[in-house]
Structure formats: structure tokens, C-alpha cells
Amino acid sequence: MTTIGKAVPETDRAPSFPPAPRRRSGPPHAAGGTAWGWIVKIVLLGLADAIAVTGLLIAADAKAWGYVTLLAVTLVIVNVAFLPRRYVPLKYLVPGVFFLAVFALYPVLYTAYSSTTNYGTGHVLTKQQAIDQIESQSVGRVEGSTAYDVTPLASPDGTFAGFGLYDPDTEEIFLGTTERIEQLTEPAELQVLTTTQRTFVVSVGDLTGVRPGGVAELTGYPADPGSYVMLGETEGSEIRLSGAQAFEALPRLSFDPETETVTDISTDVVYSIVEGQFTSDDGQTLSPGFRTSVGFSNYSEILTGSAFRGAFPKVLAWTIAFAVLSVVTTFAFGLGLAMVLNDKRMRGRKIYRSLVIIPYALPGFMTALVWRGLLNPTFGFNRWLGIDVGWLESPNLARFSLILVNLWLGYPYMFLVCTGALQSIPTDLKEAAFVDGATGFTAFRKVTFPLLLTSVSPLLIASFAFNFNNFTIVWLVTSGGPRASGESAGATDILLSWTYRIALDAEPKQQGLAAALSVVIFMIVAVLSAIGFKYTKTYEEVR
């Protein structure tokens, strides 16, 4: 049976498309990439994996399990993101997140962690490292012990066999290693070379003595012979080298892991742990101490401690004043110059603008040192003007000098910003204000300045945050001084320079306390910046 139907016009038929190509599996070069691209990716991933695995082994050997976990997770993420072809977004996201974590998050978190520790001078090592040093430093010679003459001995294959310990009184020789000490042979079988100061072992059995000049070629010879510890004859004793001789020694201090105390064997004095230091009942301490958690005591010390209670509010007040005055003076001066040089009636504006930004073109480091020379009490301004002014010796003059130097360094930036902002303001608005009868100052206050602040207010807040932490200018010009004897902070110290002084320029150095102060600075800047952003919204245009 034949079905007769109506013919379908060509224009009404469904369009036909060629079949979609099947998705190929395999390396990228099979799908249109290049074999070289695939090889380069594998090589780079291999190098990254090798570095990560090396770091993993080092961290595991040091028992730094936090780093081990972090490196293992990073290793897996990098290979999952870059080896397959389908995770394209991760290939762009992972590097950014990685560098953000390494250069931003990790320093912040580590600083916060350090602020809760006693890290500083005398408290740098871990607990076990401190115990090892305390015990090793207390090792002393056993009274009446033999003074051995020492000779490095080589085995027949040329490797280091141990130290030959020759007893000049009994003419016996012993082999000393980190595992044992044993007598090698009778005196009759020993060949020695005796000098006025010591006895050198030429040979003993199948072992050969090595002269000092040949130890560099002796395989397995310890890099630091002074730290080579041999077991002594007395239980618990050691034999240590001192030049060309060795003595039997015993540690004076012994650590008990159960009670976590150190006992002086000779006096029976017990030292217990007090804030990362082994301390006796009468207050004597053993060095070095070790890092340990102290909670929020660093923050309490900053706010209530006798050494910082009076200094902190003064430094904070000056830091805020310095940042505010720096922003106000540089902005006012830069805006004034920008308005003057923005007037089209002025001739040679390009030349003047080029001259104005010269301080901005010069390195700030060099300029600050030049200013310090100009403010020298013997040379500089005093010599040129024939005056005797202690620019950096009086607290008020030092603060004024610091603001002056910062004005010189900062006004070109504000000039450039204000020049661009002024040129973006439509002239029609100012002309309309003049038509309505406004004077030049009124037009500036009602029209130009609000529109200008709309553009530059975020930059003013950023400039405030920068000057709040402007360590470079403070340290190069005044070094935070003048500073009275016994005071932790100087008259021109801002919070950051004060933190640097506590951490690295004072004795004892208190990095944990400085870290707590850094956290406080971060919180203060965050609060002040948030307040500034809130109030600058007043100048934003309503859309």
C-alpha cells in the first residue's frame, strides 16, 4: 500500500547539520594542542611536585605537621587543577589563591599567632632544643679523668674509623666512637710518634693515624669534631674533644621528662618551667628559654604594663596626628598648586608642572637622608642662615620637621591627583554658578570641592593609612627621637617605628610583644578606614 502525501517545500524542511565530532580522549595535542605544550606542562608540574615533596620531607623530619598537611593539600590541588583538561577555571583560580595565602593570609595569621607567644631574645628555640642546649652546655670534665691524646684513625679502605685515644700515663690506646669506647691493643703492638706536647698514633693494628692536614680527604670525618660525642667509660659520661686532647665529661644538669624539671646534679637545685624558662625557687633561670604560649598577656602588657602604659596613648595620639596632618598639608598644598596651574591663562604651565613633581620623581629614601642632613644642627639650614636651632633635638621641632619633610615628599602626588580630578569636572557647572552670582570661593566650595572629593576621597583614605604606617620617613629622618633615657618610645615614634624598636632595635628583643602591637595597629587602621569610607559616601553622586 502506497501512502500519498503532500510534498513538503524545501523552505519548510528542518535544516540539516553535520554530525558533531566525537570528543577525543587522550593528551591535549590529540585534540588540537601541541605535543610540546603537553611536555612543558608535565615538566613544570614535575618540578613543582619535586619541590613540594622535598618540603614535605624536610617538614616531616622537623615534625612540623602543620606544614606537612599544608604542603600535601597544596600538592594534591595543584595536580588536580593542572593535569586534567576539564578544570579550566581552577587553572586560573589556584595560582591566585596560592599567592594570596602565602603573601597575605599566612603573614597575618602568623603575626596573630606570634602575638600570643613569648617569642623574643632568649625565647627563640623550641622546648626540646632549649633542653638539649642546657644539657650540652652543662657538660664538664670529670674530676681526675684521663687527658687523652687524640688521633683520627683511618680503616684500610680509607674511611674514618673513629678517634684513637692514647693514655700517656699507661701507654694504652682506645678507639672512641659514638657507639662505644674499647681498648685496641697492648702497648707493644702500638706505633706512635711522641713530641713535646702530645703523642701521635702512627698505626695500631690495621688502623692508620691521619695527620691534621689529611683529615679533609678522610671519608666520613665529622665536619665539626668538637661536637663529636663518644661514650665514656663511666655510666652516663661522655668523651669530648678539645683541640688535640679529649676528656671524660658528665652533664651537670639533667632533664626529667616526667616532671618536666631540670635538676642540678651537683647542688640538687630543681628548675621548673615558668613562662618558657627553667626557673628555680629562688628565681635563678637557665638559658636559653623556649617559645611558649602566653595567651593575651602581650596585649595586657601594652595596655597596662608599666613600661608601655604611658607610652602607648602618646604614640597612638601622635601617629593619628601625623597621619592626619600629613594628608591635610599635602592635599591642601597639592590642591592649591593644581588650581593655580590649571588656569589656562597661565603661560608655561607644562614647565611649571614638570618642576613641581621633581620631589616625586626622586627616590624617597635618598630625599629623606638629604633632609636629615639639612636639619643637622651644625650644617644645613643652621649654617646657611647663621642660626642655632635643634631641629631634631626638641620634641616639638622634631615633629614639625617630620611634617615638613613629609609635605615635600607627598605634595607632588596630591598635585597630580587633584590636577586630573579638576580637569574631569565639567566647566559648565562652574559657569552656571558664576551666572547665578556666585563668587570664585563660593563656586569652589559649593561646586568644585564636593565634586573633587567624590574622586579623591578614597585616595585620601589610602594616604591616611599609608602615613599611619609610614615607617621609612620617620626612621630615616628622626629615628623616632628624640627619646629620653629609659623610655621605650621617642617623641616622633609612630606605632610602626615603635613596634620595630621593640622587635629589633631594643634589648631584649620582644617579637611576641611587637606582633601584638602589630595586630593592634591593624585593628586601629581598619576602624579608622571604615569610618572614613562611611563619611566619604556623603560626596558620592546619587544615581
Answer whether 245's CB lies under 8 Å from 148's CB.
yes
User: How far is it, in rounded angstroms, from Cα 288 to Cα 331?
Assistant: 51
Average pLDDT over residues 353-368: 88
Average pLDDT over residues 426-439: 70
The pLDDT value given to residue 406: 95
User: How far is it, in rounded angstroms, from Cα 477 to Cα 172?
Assistant: 70
Lowest model confidence (mean pLDDT) among 14-28, 412-426, 463-477, 526-540: 14-28
Q: Determine the CATH number of domain 33-114.
A: 1.20.58
The pLDDT value given to residue 191: 67
Query: Which amino acid, one-letter code, is at 81?
Result: A
pLDDT at 540 over 80: no
The pLDDT value given to residue 273: 92
Average pLDDT, the chain: 83
pLDDT at 318 over 60: yes
pLDDT in tens, 273-317: 998 999 999 989 999 999 999 999 999 988 888 778 888 899 999
pLDDT at 237 over 80: no
Domain boundaries, the chain: 33-114, 122-138+256-295, 141-251, 311-539
% of the chain residues with pLDDT over 70: 87
- 215: Cβ–Cβ under 8 A, 6 or more apart, which residues? 152, 221
The pLDDT value given to residue 231: 75
pLDDT in tens, 248-275: 888 888 899 899 999 998 888 999 999 8
The strand pairing partners of 117, in sequence order, are 293
The pLDDT value given to residue 141: 77
pLDDT in tens, 181-197: 788 765 555 667 666 57
Average pLDDT over residues 422-432: 76
pLDDT at 84 over 90: no
Query: Cα separations (Å) of 235 from 6, 184, 251, 336?
Result: 113, 20, 12, 85
pLDDT band at 30 (very low <50, low <70, confident <90, very high): very low
The pLDDT value given to residue 5: 46
DSSP string, 150-176: EEEEE-TTSBEEEEEEEETTTTEEEEE
Q: Which residue has the cell 627621637?
A: 481
User: How far is it, in rounded angstroms, from Cα 209 to Cα 241?
Assistant: 16
Average pLDDT over residues 467-492: 90
The pLDDT value given to residue 434: 67
The pLDDT value given to residue 32: 43
The pLDDT value given to residue 442: 77
pLDDT band at 239 (very low <50, low <70, confident <90, very high): confident
User: How far is it, in rounded angstroms, from Cα 154 to Cα 513?
Assistant: 53
pLDDT band at 120 (very low <50, low <70, confident <90, very high): very high
Lowest model confidence (mean pLDDT) among 125-134, 339-348, 436-445: 436-445
The pLDDT value given to residue 250: 80
The pLDDT value given to residue 21: 52
Query: Which amino acid, one-letter code, is at 77?
Result: I
Most confident of 83-92, 184-193, 222-231, 291-300: 291-300
pLDDT band at 123 (very low <50, low <70, confident <90, very high): very high
The pLDDT value given to residue 499: 92
What's the distance, CA 334 to chain centroid? 35
The pLDDT value given to residue 495: 92
The pLDDT value given to residue 405: 95
Lowest model confidence (mean pLDDT) among 88-97, 136-145, 179-188, 239-248: 179-188
pLDDT at 380 over 80: yes
For residues 66 and 122, the model is more confident at 122
Angle in degrees, 0-180, between the axes of helices 449-468 and 511-536, rounded to the nearest 10: 170
Dihedral sign of CA atoms 376, 381, 387, 391 in order:
negative
Cell reading at 489: 618610645
pLDDT at 389 over 70: yes
The pLDDT value given to residue 225: 80
Answer whether 522's CB lies under 8 Å from 514's CB.
no
In 3-state terms, what secondary structure has residue 44? Answer: helix
What's the distance, CA 323 to chain centroid? 25
- 364: Cβ–Cβ under 8 A, 6 or more apart, which residues? 409, 472, 473
- 424: Cβ–Cβ under 8 A, 6 or more apart, which residues? 455
Superfamily of domain 311-539: MetI-like (1.10.3720.10)
Q: Which residue has the cell 590642591?
A: 335
For residues 387 and 18, the model is more confident at 387
The pLDDT value given to residue 4: 46
User: How far is it, in rounded angstroms, from Cα 204 to Cα 374?
Assistant: 75
For residues 306 and 504, the model is more confident at 504
Lowest model confidence (mean pLDDT) among 82-96, 217-231, 400-414, 437-451: 437-451
Answer whether 517's CB lies under 8 Å from 496's CB.
no
% of the chain residues with pLDDT over 90: 27
Rg of the Cα trace of the chain? 38
The pLDDT value given to residue 401: 94
Average pLDDT over residues 376-389: 88
Average pLDDT over residues 475-480: 93
Most confident of 38-47, 203-212, 490-499: 490-499
pLDDT at 460 over 70: yes
Specify the pTM.
Answer: 0.72
The pLDDT value given to residue 327: 95
445: which DSSP letter? I
The pLDDT value given to residue 542: 41
User: How far is it, in rounded angstroms, from Cα 465 to Cα 457?
Assistant: 13
Average pLDDT over residues 511-527: 90
Q: Output the CA angle 283-284-290, nearest 5 degrees.
A: 100
For residues 35 and 117, the model is more confident at 117
User: How far is it, in rounded angstroms, from Cα 236 to Cα 518?
Assistant: 47
pLDDT band at 236 (very low <50, low <70, confident <90, very high): low
pLDDT at 423 over 90: no
